[in-house]
Structure 1
Amino acid sequence: MRINKVKNQVLKLATGLALMCTTVAINTGIADQIALAKSKNPTKCNLFAYVDVSDGQTLNVRSGTSTNNKILGQVPVNETVQVVAVLGNWAKITNTSSGFKGTGWVSLPKLGLSTRGYGTKGVKLYAKTSAKSKVIVRVPPNTSVKLLGCQGGWALVQYKGVNGWLVREDQCGAALTSCS
């Protein structure tokens, strides 16, 4: 009888510790990092973005999703690239407007988008990849936003610290001209 009572207390303690560790992992973002590290399947998408690096610099295109992978070529600043997949902080690109020809991986934080919405009060950022989801914020027309990821034709972007999904019709992947 006494052994069962001790076993129950140990089981309760172990369960409590497991729940506490899970809560810490979720709330600190560690769970997302673990999931990305284990994930080998990129998220497919299809959108255009521009190279957003310092003037005079180029963006390295690599054979894989690591700075340890071979450099296949380079794309100049402000050039447009087609993003076909993302995996963690990496974007798989193809069809560059200038520089590198082919397909390879680039650092996602070095790509940008602008908003369309000319002649309007701006474009909407959504909570999910659906125009029926909650609108988080409006972004003024012709505004640069940070590209964080993508899914299908949707772009996950950041505007003034707010993350949201931008529908394809409101995206502009050209840095130096407007998309009208």
Structure 2
Amino acid sequence: MSFALPRLVRWLSTSAAALALAVPALAPAAAQAADFVSIKGATINVREQPTTRSDVLWELGQGYPLQVRERRGQWLRVRDHEATLGWVFAPLTQRTPHRLVTARVANLRAKPSTNSRIVGKLEQHEIVRTVGSQGSWAKVRRDGGQTGWVAKRLTWGW
């Protein structure tokens, strides 16, 4: 027993040192990994507290992307591109990726390049369905079915 104990202590201290070095390297990736949802139905109420008896702060439309900040039972504390909004009932959300146009106007392009032909103009606050991604570009589909590429920096969501 006494022979194995020093080896175990040495292994534990070596493992702890390796873990201490690895955790900071992993932390930025974990901190950047965001949990998103979007609105499933036509509209949803964003409430002050995680209960249906709480005041309604906002009403959001279908597809609106939200970042989850906290979970409490079947309620999600969410934020949008500007700030923390409040609480939504999780069953009224979905894991379908959407983006909100944050720029005043964003070009919808045929290919993921600023040199590509413009096929449409996206208006600020327009919500589009994300159907693909390539680098700093998102392939999106509008409600009417039109698809194209938009620079991610002009939108918010996933």
Structure richer in strand, relative to its length: 2
**How does the TM-score come out when normalised to structure 2?**
0.44
